[in-house]
Structure 1
């Protein structure tokens, strides 16, 4: 079965980044434990959310995050809720995890919240999941499959080696735009993360590729390097997004750009303490440049 999954791209061995000695020991131990249990069950997973953001920006590219977090977010590819429950049961049986009141959340070492989001065949045709037991809480997982298929592999530990898949920065932007639209309670955090990734995308290991492959963008953005970075990111998103995901992103960004009440993503960016000095009009320009890249 594992060999079949490898052929389908569900288990990757090519290492994009080595972060030996860079990650917090709690993160390493958590991901190592999860990796062993998930692999034993042949359940593919990848790191998303703030943990993925920090792994790629702070640890891989020395770009400090604007907000600290202890949240651990994981996407797991499962066919049904029985498979999801099997993973939860094994994690709980390891005595490293304890249950919480929320179906999707466990606590690692009784301190660190771990949100586990299922995607794949478990989702409905519109890309949503409804959580048991009442199935009255719906969540969008649009983009998760796209992002998993384009995730990068990171070596987090040696002897024995542990390699985990992490959502790419372009993938994170997809997930965070969808999350922003889907979850009102997280809008401020999602918006701030979106803006930070957009602002730093070229600096996060994309400089050489930008000048080699996208030399037309600077001219189209009137030599505005920052807006060119946002548009470049939009083009990278298109390379990985399915037609349904692309349509979802375009609809959200177009709606906000045309809203008479103002661009709510930009307003949510400015609601965060670390972003209060930013200009509303400038933040809107970044998101509009991102949209132009998706539409290119």
Structure 2
């Protein structure tokens, strides 16, 4: 996307706007860069920004923070705890809170950047036995959109673009426990179906030959365009990882398609993923 600004003022609950403003203020005081990721990023851009439908609501607020050490991560976490956020008993990276309207939220904070090891993995304290792959976060951060959530006061926050969200979902599906990864695949299917809601993308489908190339099937044309756009932001390391671990692995590809399916046709999902993968790998 060439247009990197989205205005959704008035479309989020006031309590959620306040929550984003508060976390943004804490991060700014510590000079920590962040971006919104996950299902909330999906909804902020595609639902509130461009009018797509909500298929799965969320009470999770997911952030990626670009840090060099666990000390930086802990500084932000401790700052939020001192401000009244609460620890989650089971997950070190999760905090909980109620917004100003009394609604509960779960806040996941995932560090990336120099904190990761040579294989783009982070090892969570204190035992460092929980390992997470943060491949793709740096690319999503560089491609983030500026999303305005309030005009009075003026609040603009960085949110992962659809291409960035898709990249993270592909990596997450490979990294997550089998019983939890279905939503990553269904989100990729949602991104494919909703991508043409963005006027710039819709115009490109017709003006740049995607519709003709896919016999005027808009969803397949969107899959092709999204595949190219994800590859455009991805590092070669990330592309090669996904090629080897997902797209060249027939068993995993078949499972990904089944996870995409939901109430949709298995054949349609398989065709869309094939078009996406062909475009994604063709941009190497």
Q: Give the TM-score normalised by structure 2.
A: 0.91
- Counterpart for residue 280 of structure 1: 266
- Hey, what does 1:209 align to over in structure 2? 204
CA RMSD of aligned residues (A): 1.7
Superposed displacement of residue 262, structure 1: 6.7
Partner of 1:56: 45
1:268 to 217, 239, 259: 259
Deviations 1:144-188 (CA, angstroms, capped at 9, x unpaired) = 000000000011112321110000001000000100110024211
Structure 1 segments unaligned to the other structure (5+ residues): 1-13
Matched residues in 2 for 1:141 and 1:82: separation?
A: 18
**Number of the residue aligned with 1:194:** 188
- Give 1:139-218 correspondences, 5 Å limit: 139-184=132-177, 185-205=179-199, 206-212=201-207, 214-215=208-209, 217-218=210-211
- Secondary structure in structure 2 of the residue aligned to 1:64: coil
Deviation at 1:244, TM superposition (A): 0.7
5+ long unaligned stretches in structure 2: none
Query: Are 1:82 and 2:71 an aligned pair?
Result: yes
User: What's 1:6 paired with?
Assistant: none
Aligned residues: 273
2:123 paired residue number:
130
| Secondary structure at the counterpart of residue 164 of structure 1 | strand
Query: What's 2:281 paired with?
Result: 295
Moved >4 Å (runs of 4+): none
Instruction: Report the TM-score when normalising by structure 1.
Output: 0.88
Does 2:223 align with 1:230? yes
Partner in structure 2 of residue 40 of structure 1: 29
Q: d(CA) in 2 for partners of 1:122 and 1:91?
A: 20
Q: Distance in 2 between matches of 1:46 and 1:109?
A: 21
